[in-house]
Structure 1
Amino acid sequence: MLFLVGFILLFFMKLYKPSRFLGYSISFFTRGFIEKRAEEKPAIFSTFHVLIFSFCALTLSLFVYTLIPDNQTKNNLISYVYVILFTFIYLIIRRLIDYSFSKLLDLSNYVRYFIFTKVGYLYTLSIWLFPILIAYNYGYKNNYFLWGSFLILIAIRFGLVFYNNKKLIIKHLFYFILYLCALEIAPLFIILKILK
């Protein structure tokens, strides 16, 4: 049922803005799309953005839910509802913090560009993670395959965010490391601790 919801969201994204959906789908391998979108300063409450944000939350929550051992999921639907609520709240709070800091502190375009590239590549990661989750759940049920694929996608995302923002990151390396530890790495460790 959840994969069906994911397919429906993908269908509506492709139907509503096919070129934008394609751009996000292949942005790991093509240059220019994320940069162009960042320069356009798109509205965060547009229809397409709500669709892709919902798809991203669904995919990431499915990934986390897949990692939960079977003996800890007594009621599958209730357990998943907790996971997706946690994922939605986490992503919304992170987005609001990023957006609020950039507005309140009147940060430069470089920081806004950094925030947008980070979010844009997260959307691409979720699009690529979705078929991996399908393959894992309905065929190749191997934890090394799932974790390996996820870590490769995270590494590509991190590399592209760093490459596209290298001037800003190198100039403020100490703050970037603090940010990375607090908002990128720490949540993964918290999730792993909860799953244990």
Structure 2
Amino acid sequence: MLRDAISNDWFTIFLMLGLGLITVSKFLFTHRFKDFLVLIGNSKYLKIYARDQKFIDGFDALLFLNGVLSISIFAIIGYGAFVNPSAFNLNQFFKLLFGIGILFLIKVLLERLIASLFDIDELIDSYVFQKTTFKNYIGFVLFPINCLLIYTLEPTKVLIHTIIGLIILINLIGFITSFKNHQKLLINNIFYFILYLCALEIGPYLILYKLIIDFNA
């Protein structure tokens, strides 16, 4: 029996869309998808596919779209648990979805622009690939979590905090992995990398937090 939830119909539509994106990525990139599943604790995926990265990659694009969907759905669930459990507003959801998607895309473009300006393309391109991979993995992990929060589990504050902790942990693993893989390059360019972290790692998340807090305004 489904748990009573606000606007399960709309959530179901967007979850099915996310499932469709994951299914298509598995169908079109079967071997790569299997390597992607064991990303945590296994650097095989990063070592193999970092060499073949493209500016527009079909596999990453599909999982990126699912990630934006999953993060937006989780943001609404979390907002409802902490702030205001109001009725689902489709217009506001699309604004949130668009805002998160544009924020992530602009961030990647700025990262590549800064890499070109400071002549650290090799460092940033590989770092961006690994960071994007872990963000896509977060979106993949959030998909079943969102299903449970909508249809089975009550999204309590403790549970939402636990899931946020899991997201931070995956991000931290990704950062440590990137640092270990590029330790020499990072040390040689430590000043530029610190500037990069302040401008394009911390700043965008503050903007995203503000976006989520104000999406119901």
Where in structure 1 are there 5+ consecutive unaligned residues? none
Residue of 187, 205, 212 corresponding to 1:188: 205
Question: CA 1:119/1:63 → structure 2, altered by over 3 Å: closer, same or farther?
Answer: same
Verify the 8 A CA contact 1:63 1:133 in the aligned structure 2.
yes
In the alignment, structure 1 residue 83 sits paired with structure 2 residue 100: no
Is residue 67 of structure 1 aligned with residue 78 of structure 2?
Answer: yes
C-alpha change, 1:169 and 1:104, in structure 2 (3 Å) is closer
Q: C-alpha separation between the residues in 1 aligned to 2:75 and 2:187?
A: 32
TM-score normalized by the length of structure 2: 0.77
Deviations 1:117-172 (A, max 9, x none): 22222222221222222233333322222222222222222222222222222222
Aligned to 2:181: 164
- Structure with bigger gyration radius: 2
Could you say which residue in structure 2 is the equivalent of 1:24?
A: 36
Distance apart, 1:77 and its partner CA: 0.9
Partner SS, residue 55 of structure 2: coil
Q: 1:63 to 1:111 in 2, by over 3 A?
A: same
Name the stretch that deviates more: 6-15 or 124-133.
124-133
Q: 2:147 aligns with which of 134, 139, 155?
A: 134
Instruction: Flag as ranges the 4+ runs of structure 1 deviating above 4 A.
Output: 72-75, 103-106
Q: Does 2:155 correspond to 1:144? A: no
CA deviation after TM superposition for structure 1 residue 31, in Å: 1.6
Q: In structure 2, what is the Cα distance between the partners aligned to 1:66 and 1:165?
A: 37
Q: Quick check: 1:7 aligned with 2:19? A: yes
Give the match for residue 178 of structure 1.
195
TM-score, with length taken from structure 1: 0.85
Cα separation, 1, equivalents of 2:120 and 2:176: 23
- 1:24–1:123 contact (8 Å) kept in structure 2: no
> Do the aligned partners of residues 103 and 174 (structure 1) sit closer, same or farther apart at CA in structure 2, a change above 3 Å counting?
closer
Q: Quick check: 154-163 or 89-98, which moved more?
A: 154-163
**RCO higher in 1 or 2 (8 Å CA, sep ≥ 6)?**
2
Task: State the identity as a percent.
Answer: 26
Distance 1:138 1:153, change over 3 A: farther
CA distance in 1, matches of 2:204, 2:74: 14
8 Å contact kept, 2:66–2:139: yes
Q: Could you tell me which amino acid in structure 2 is paired with residue 61 of structure 1?
A: S
